[in-house]
Amino acid sequence: MSHSNNINLFEPQVMAIVNVTDDSFYDGCRTISDDDIFRRVGDVLNQGATIVDVGGYSSRPGAVDITPEQEWQRVRRGLTIVRELSKDVVVSVDTFRADVARRAIEEFGWLIINDISAGELSSDMIDVVASAQVPYIAMHMRGTPQTMQQMTEYGADIVGQVCQYFQQRVEFLKSKGVGQLILDPGFGFAKSVEQNYQLLAHLNELCDMGYPVLVGLSRKSMIYKPLGITPADALAGTVSLDWEALRQGATILRVHDVREAVEQVKLYKMLSMVG
């Protein structure tokens, strides 16, 4: 199944969020029945997603904890449906559990593992990824989804702290044999609204480390809280901030709204060609 792995993650890609959960923060992407998953996956493929990110565990602040077996059954349903609808689209699995990652790779072959904990919440995760030689998205977070919003103390320089964390983490992951790395600053994970904007304003510092950078800004509280709106109304804000992330060098936009992001990438490329 190596056909998918010629994707260039240094070129802008649109990653579609497919949550096989019933408690994600944005209800436009909760898909728990097979019909819902079919509809959602069909939509994002038609709209031009180049990566489909399947998750079975909601990592929103204060999310309900579920067992690894429940999570795997959800992920498996999602991946099965994605593969029924497309043999070629690149899939990623949004999980911090080594067991879920291992089973996904065993059953579905080459895919990307998207880990909100950068391997810190499941000690075997790094071995699984290294031995399978699959790309690995390492995200910056503190604590767990249940505790992270109490862990937002960074002193004056959150940008420096996040970059330093990644320098150490990348060195460690490389030493363990992880091949292809993607970095995710973890907007909204153990960060205040203001800290999220500090990170976004200096995102180029993370991009300068030489790895593809993924941003997950879509409809998050850093957009809807300052505007006094709900996640449902946060599409325009998402598009604005994603453009800024592209401008600073991010290459993977993880989004709920694929059509808008695909259009955005097209226009961004037009601008880059003449720039």
Active-site residue set:
220, 254
Axis-axis angle for helices 235-248, 258-274 (nearest 10): 40
The CA angle 256-259-264, to the nearest 5 degrees, is 100
Q: Give which of 67, 47, 42 is closest to 57, Cα–Cα.
A: 67
Q: Is 113 strand, coil or helix?
A: strand
Q: Treating both helix axes as pointing N-terminal to C-terminal, what angle do 98-108 and 68-85 enclose, rounded to 10 degrees? A: 30
3-state secondary structure of 247: helix
3-class SS at 115?
Answer: strand
